[in-house]
Structure 1
Amino acid sequence: MTIRQANSYNLVADIGGTNTRIALAQGADVMPATVKRYRNVDFTGLESVIRQYCDDQGHVDPHAACVAVAGPVRDGRAAMTNLDWTIDTDTLARASRSEKVAILNDLQAQGHALGHIAPAHLRQVLTGTSAGPDATKLVIGVGTGFNAAPVFETPRGRIVTASESGHANLPIRTDLELRLCQYVSNAHGFPAVEDVLSGRGLERVYAFLGQEAGEPKEILAQDIMTALADGADARAAEAARIFVRILGTVAGNLSLIQLPFGGVYLAGGVARAFGPYLTQFGFGDAFRDKGRFAGFMSNFPVTIIEDDYAALTGCACQLEALDRQG
């Protein structure tokens, strides 16, 4: 077991509903050999999993620690809908024995990672007008849930603001989308963006199409994507088309709100899975379908983040920025 010098590393973690990934970082660089994944069900809380990791890394004593969580963060405390853990700065400081700690929403962490992701892990979907390094950017996360975070460059450093965009109303452009909204409302009481633009949302779109056809059937999102790749299920292709068109509409709406001339970045497992199909199913057309502002939408390039460690990198970058600030 490697014995690591105290206060020589920072600890970074990405806490999901099922698993927690933890790593050590030096400056903005995550050390790949130190990345470990733990099942949340095996631990009673954040403190126990971090202490287990520190022991596994030779009783490492980090200088600072930052975690990214899939949920809203307020006043140093995070709330997660699928995990009954106490996640706050006091717990993080005690567990990691760190002098400096931070808690980020997972999309904030992705935003802090921009500029530190290898080009090989970026897939361009739409080109756009080039912009300066200080231009605003926008990260949109599509995975277990949906969210977005704008990234602002300021004289005092980068600011990534949190939101809960996935819980805004679904946009409605067609009669089919209206019926889809009504279908979601009947099941959940409110047609939120996340109810369609997520892994579970794709399953709902597929089930909705079955109801429309009078042939009810429900399958898992991964099976829908498999059927799409195989070309064996026309309903899977139609569900994917609806998903992509709504994603384009929502991403376009968010872009008009934030004006990300520095680019729109799609993150998350579902976004990565749809990467090969966005052009095929009309993402760009839906993204730019803004009436007299259709031409203006070409200002915003769209790229998929294919780096599974981006949230960890973002946590490392945030700690590096905090160190610079003293």
Structure 2
Amino acid sequence: MTVKEANTYNLVADIGGTNTRIALASGERVLPATVRRYRNADFAGLESVIRRYMSDEGNVDPAAACIAVAGPVRDGRAAMTNLDWTIDTATLARATLSERVAILNDLQAQGHALGHIAPDHLREVLRGQPASPEATRLVIGVGTGFNAAPVFTTPRGRIVTPSESGHANLPIRTEQELRLCQYVSTAHGFPAVEDVLSGRGLERVYAFLGDEANDPRDKTAHDLMAALEDGSDPRATDAARLFTRLLGTVAGNLSLIQLPFGGIYLVGGVARAFGPYLSQFGFAEAFRDKGRFGGFMGNFAVSIIEDDYAALTGCANFLREGDGAP
């Protein structure tokens, strides 16, 4: 293996609950040949997986490091529900031997990737109105969980503020949605957005419809998407339609809060899986169903990011901006 010159590349990583992906970046560009995936269960913690990667890449000595994590970050420390690792800047600096390190929420990383994603990795859902390059944008993550992050362009650089939007109350517009909220509350004590708009949330919507029909059945999100594709289970289609309309409602609410005239970007495995179905299941109608502001909602374009490396690219761009590069 070729030994890489010290302090030439930056190390970037995307840490999920099950797997960690790590790569090297040159400026804002992630080097595809250096991307490696590791099962978290095979490692004791962040330090050990990063040191394995650095060894696998010829004992690379990165100039700086930035990681994205699926969880809230505060004061340089990340909290992840499904991963018992110590994830903080001190551990990251020790593991990478880098003086400059950063930890981002995964949605923050996706926000820093905007503008650096190839056009063929963007799927248009709704067309909006032209906007200036400085217009606010919004990233909405729909995958294992749900979250959102606004993206602001300022004279001093890009700012992507974190949130925990998935733990806000699920909105209610119909009697059926009220019953769904009550169904979720019975199990969890609180009807959060993430309890419905996520992979496990789709499973919960399907179970709710079974309960409504006095015909309880369970299916995994993977099986539901397969049934949706081949048309083998009408209830899977009904669950996907209810899921889609709720997603449109929540995305519309978040858009009115942040006014992302620069566009809304859906990310995550569930968002990508639903891409072909959003139009037929009423996403646009639910998104724009805002009474006298219905016409105003036409300002906002909606796209799906279909780039597996987007969080890595965001980490790379965050470090590049920190260097003061143009």
Alignment TM-score > 0.5, same fold:
yes
Alignment of 1:64-75 (within 5 A): 64-75=64-75
**1:164 Cα deviation (Å)?**
0.1
Between the aligned partners of 1:276 and 1:155, the Cα distance in structure 2 is 38
1:31 matched to 2:52: no
Q: How big is each residue's C-alpha offset from its partner over 1:216-237, in whole Å with a ceiling of 9 and x where there is no partner?
A: 0001000000000001110000
Alignment of 1:191-230 (within 5 A): 191-230=191-230
Between the aligned partners of 1:232 and 1:60, the Cα distance in structure 2 is 50
Q: How big is each residue's C-alpha offset from its partner over 1:45-89, in whole Å with a ceiling of 9 and x where there is no partner?
A: 000000000000000000000000000000000000000000000
Between the aligned partners of 1:302 and 1:216, the Cα distance in structure 2 is 35
The gaps in structure 1 that reach 5 residues or longer are none
Cross-structure match for 1:236: 236
- SS of the residue 1:115 aligns to: coil
Cross-structure match for 1:55: 55
Cross-structure match for 1:253: 253
Cross-structure match for 1:159: 159
Alignment of 1:1-326 (within 5 A): 1-324=1-324
The list of structure 1 runs, each at least 4 consecutive aligned residues, that deviate by more than 4 angstroms after superposition, is: none
Between the aligned partners of 1:257 and 1:44, the Cα distance in structure 2 is 41
- SS of the residue 1:324 aligns to: coil
Between the aligned partners of 1:250 and 1:231, the Cα distance in structure 2 is 27
Q: How big is each residue's C-alpha offset from its partner over 1:166-217, in whole Å with a ceiling of 9 and x where there is no partner?
A: 0000000000000000000001110000000000000000000001001000
Structure 1 length-normalised TM: 0.99
Letter in 2 for 1:265: Y
**1:142 Cα deviation (Å)?**
0.1
The gaps in structure 2 that reach 5 residues or longer are none
**1:323 Cα deviation (Å)?**
1.1
Letter in 2 for 1:4: K
Between the aligned partners of 1:228 and 1:130, the Cα distance in structure 2 is 34
Between the aligned partners of 1:319 and 1:49, the Cα distance in structure 2 is 21
Between the aligned partners of 2:6 and 2:274, the Cα distance in structure 1 is 43
Letter in 1 for 2:144: T
Structure 2 length-normalised TM: 0.99
**1:99 Cα deviation (Å)?**
1.8
Between the aligned partners of 1:270 and 1:62, the Cα distance in structure 2 is 33
Q: How big is each residue's C-alpha offset from its partner over 1:86-115, in whole Å with a ceiling of 9 and x where there is no partner?
A: 000000000011121000000000000000
Between the aligned partners of 2:200 and 2:20, the Cα distance in structure 1 is 21
Letter in 2 for 1:185: S
Letter in 2 for 1:110: Q
Between the aligned partners of 2:233 and 2:216, the Cα distance in structure 1 is 14
- SS of the residue 2:123 aligns to: strand
Q: CA RMSD in A?
A: 0.5
Letter in 2 for 1:162: P
Letter in 2 for 1:242: L
Between the aligned partners of 2:205 and 2:272, the Cα distance in structure 1 is 19
- SS of the residue 2:219 aligns to: coil
Between the aligned partners of 2:31 and 2:92, the Cα distance in structure 1 is 20
Letter in 2 for 1:305: I
Between the aligned partners of 2:2 and 2:126, the Cα distance in structure 1 is 45
**1:139 Cα deviation (Å)?**
0.1
Letter in 2 for 1:215: D
Between the aligned partners of 2:280 and 2:91, the Cα distance in structure 1 is 47
**1:307 Cα deviation (Å)?**
0.3
- SS of the residue 1:51 aligns to: helix
Between the aligned partners of 1:231 and 1:280, the Cα distance in structure 2 is 14
**1:324 Cα deviation (Å)?**
1.1
**1:2 Cα deviation (Å)?**
1.7
**1:312 Cα deviation (Å)?**
0.2
Q: How big is each residue's C-alpha offset from its partner over 1:12-61, in whole Å with a ceiling of 9 and x where there is no partner?
A: 00000000000000000000000000000000000000000000000000
Between the aligned partners of 2:6 and 2:254, the Cα distance in structure 1 is 44
